[in-house]
Amino acid sequence: DAKTTQPTSMDCAEGRAANLPCNHSTISGNEYVYWYRQIHSQGPQYIIHGLKNNETNEMASLIITEDRKSSTLILPHATLRDTAVYYCIVRPPGSGGGADGLTFGKGTHLIIQP
Partner 1 sequence: DGGITQSPKYLFRKEGQNVTLSCEQNLNHDAMYWYRQDPGQGLRLIYYSQIVNDFQKGDIAEGYSVSREKKESFPLTVTSAQKNPTAFYLCASSITSTTNYGYTFGSGTRLTVV
The residues that touch partner 1, with contacts defined as CB under 8 A, are 32, 34, 36, 41-46, 49, 87, 89, 91, 93-99, 101-107
Nearer to partner 1, 14 or 49 (CB): 49
Nearest approach in angstroms of CB 84 to partner 1 is 13
Residue whose C-alpha is closest to residue 80's, from 112, 110, 108: 112
Tell me whether residue 45 or residue 79 sits nearer to partner 1 (CB atom).
Answer: 45
Closest CB to partner 1 among residues 94, 114: 94
Please report how close the Cβ of residue 16 comes to partner 1 at its closest, in angstroms: 27
CA distance 20 to 75: 8
Half-sphere exposure for 23 (CA within 13 Å, toward CB):
5
What SS3 state is found at 87?
strand
Q: How far apart are CA 53 and CA 79, in angstroms?
A: 26
Query: Distance (Å, rounded) from C-alpha 61 to C-alpha 69?
Result: 17
Least separation in angstroms between residue 12's CB and partner 1 is 21
Please report how close the Cβ of residue 18 comes to partner 1 at its closest, in angstroms. Answer: 21
Number of Cβ within 10 Å of residue 4's Cβ equals 20
